[in-house]
Structure 1
Amino acid sequence: MTSTKAWWQQDATRMAHAVAAREVTATQLVRACLDRIAATDRRVNAFTDLVSARALERAARIDSGLADGSQAVLPLLGVPFAVKNLFDIAGLRTLAGSKIERDSPPATQDGLLVQRMEAAGAILIGALNMDEYAYGFTTENSHEGACHNPHNLDLTAGGSSGGSAAAVAAGQVPLTLGSDTNGSIRVPSSLCGIFGLKPTFGRLPRTGSFPFVTSLDHLGPFARSVRDLALAYDAMQGDEEKGLHRDAGCAQRATEFVVDELDLGIQGLRIGVLGGYFHDNALSEARSAVAKVAKALGARDTVELPLVEAGRAAAFLITNSEGAALHLDNLRARASDFEPLSRDRFLAGALIPAAWVARAQRVRTRYARAAAQVFEKYDLLLAPATPCAATPIGAERMHLNGRDLPLRPNMGVLTQPISCIGLPVCAVPVWGAHPVLPIGVQVIAAPWREDLVLRAAAVLEAAGVCRAPVAKL
Structure 2
Amino acid sequence: MNTSLPAIDPEALLDGPAHAMADAVRQGRVRARTLTDAALARIAARDPLERGGVNACTAVLAERARSEADALDAKLAAGDAATAALPLLGVPYAVKNLFDVAGLPTLAGSKIERDAAPAVQDGLLLRRLQGAGAVLLAALNMDEYAYGFTTENSHVGACRNPHDLRRVAGGSSGGSGAAIAAGEVPLTLGSDTNGSIRVPASLCGVFGLKPTFGRLPRTGSYPFVASLDHLGPFGRSVRDLALSYDAMQGHDGHDPGCVDRPVQPVTPLLETPEHGLRVGLLGGWFHDMADDDARGAVARVAAALRTAPGVASVREVSWPEVDRARAAAFLITNAEGANLHLDDLRRRPGDFEPLSRDRFLAGALLPATWVVQAQRVRRWFARQVAASFADVDLFIAPATPCVAPLMGTEWIDIQGQRLPARPSIGVLTQPVSCIGLPVCAVPVWNVHASLPIGVQLIAAPWREDRVLRAARWLEQAGVVRAPVAAWPT
Which of 239, 246, 249 aligns to 2:257? It is: 249
Q: Distance in 1 between matches of 2:8 and 2:202?
A: 33
Inter-partner Cα distance in structure 2 for 1:300 and 1:126: 42
Q: Of 464, 468, 472, which residue of structure 1 is paired with 2:478?
A: 464
Moved more, 264-273 or 280-289: 264-273
SS at match of 2:485: coil
Of 50, 56, 60, the match for 2:70: 60
2: CA distance, partners of 1:207 / 1:125: 20
Residue 54 of structure 2 corresponds to residue 50 of structure 1: no
SS of the residue corresponding to residue 302 of structure 1 reads strand
Q: Does the CA-based 8 Å contact 2:278-2:314 persist in structure 1? A: no
Q: How many Å separate the matches in 2 of 1:404 and 1:308?
A: 19
CA RMSD in angstroms comes to 0.9
1:273 equivalent to 2:285? Answer no
Match of 1:308 in 2: 322
Matches within 5 A, 1:180-329: 180-240=192-252, 242=253, 246-298=254-306, 300-329=314-343
Shift of 1:181: 0.2
Tell me if the contact between 2:162 and 2:182 (Cα under 8 Å) persists in the aligned partners. yes
Alignment partner for residue 343 of structure 1, among 344, 352, 357? 357
Aligned to 2:25: 19
Cα distance per residue 1:152-182 (max 9 Å; x no partner): 0000000000000000011100100000000
- Alpha-carbon shift at residue 3 of structure 1 (Å): 3.3
Q: Which residue of 2 aligns with 1:117?
A: 129
From 85, 101, 106, the counterpart of 2:113: 101
Instruction: Write the deviation string for residues 176-235 of structure 1: whole angstroms up to 9, x where unpaired.
Output: 000000000000000000000000000000000000000000000001100011001000
1:316-373 Cα deviation digits (max 9, x unpaired): 0000000000000000000000000000000000000111111111111110000001
Quote the offset at 1:404 in angstroms: 1.1
| Distance in structure 2 (CA, Å) of the matches to 1:41 and 1:251 | 37
Superposed displacement of residue 239, structure 1:
1.6
**Distance apart, 1:253 and its partner CA:** 1.3
Map 1:446-461; keep pairs closer than 5 Å.
446-461=460-475
Corresponding residue for residue 410 of structure 1: 424
Question: For residues 65 and 107 of structure 1, what CA distance do their matches in structure 2 show?
Answer: 28
* One-letter amino acid of the counterpart of residue 388, structure 1: C
Question: What SS class does the counterpart of residue 418 from structure 2 fall into?
Answer: strand
Deviation per CA, 1:9-49: give whole Å up to 9, x if none: 12111011111111110001101110110110021000000
Report the Cα distance in structure 1 between the residues aligned to 2:11 and 2:387, rounded to whole angstroms.
Answer: 52
**Unpaired segments of 5 or more residues in structure 1?**
none
Deviations 1:95-135 (A, max 9, x none): 00000000000000000000000010101111000000000
In 2, the alpha carbon distance for the partners of 1:267 and 1:171 equals 36
Does residue 1:423 correspond to 2:437, yes or no?
Answer: yes
Q: Which amino acid aligns with 1:282?
A: A
Worse overlay, 72-81 or 316-325: 72-81
How far has the Cα of 1:400 moved from its partner? 1.2
Q: How many residues in Structure 1 have an aligned counterpart in Structure 2?
A: 469
Q: CA deviation at 1:141?
A: 0.1
Match for residue 175 of structure 2?
A: 163
**Kept after mapping to 2: 8 A contact 1:381/1:443:** yes
Q: Give identity over the alignment, percent.
A: 65
Q: Which amino acid aligns with 2:14?
A: W
**Per the alignment, do residues 284 and 11 of structure 1 end up closer, same or farther by CA in structure 2, a change over 3 Å counting?**
same
Superposition pairs of residues 72-151 of structure 1, within 5 angstroms:
72-151=84-163
Give the gaps of 5 or more residues in structure 2: 1-6, 307-312
CA distance in 2, matches of 1:183, 1:4: 33
Q: Is the 8 A contact 2:8 2:24 kept in 1?
A: no
Q: Distance in 2 between matches of 1:154 and 1:266?
A: 41
Alpha-carbon offset, residue 307 of structure 1: 2.4
Separation in 2, partners of 1:160, 1:57: 30
Query: Are 2:305 and 2:314, in contact at CA under 8 Å, matched by a contact in 1?
Result: no
Q: Which residue of 2 aligns with 1:386?
A: 400
> For 2:277, what is the secondary structure of its paired residue?
coil
Aligned to 1:36: 42
State the Cα distance separating 1:405 from its structure 2 match: 1.1
Q: Alpha-carbon deviation of 1:435?
A: 1.3
Native 8 Å contact 2:65 2:136 kept in 1: yes
Q: Is the partner of 1:432 in helix, strand or coil?
A: coil
Say whether the 8 Å CA contact 2:13–2:20 is kept in structure 1. no
1:248-300: per-residue Cα shift (whole Å, max 9, x none)?
Answer: 00012110100000011243111010001100000000000000000111153
Structure 1 residue 72: Cα displacement: 4.2
Distance across 2 between alignment mates of 1:407 and 1:309 = 17
How far 1:436 sits from its partner (Å)?
1.1
Contact 1:266 1:459 in 2 (8 A): no
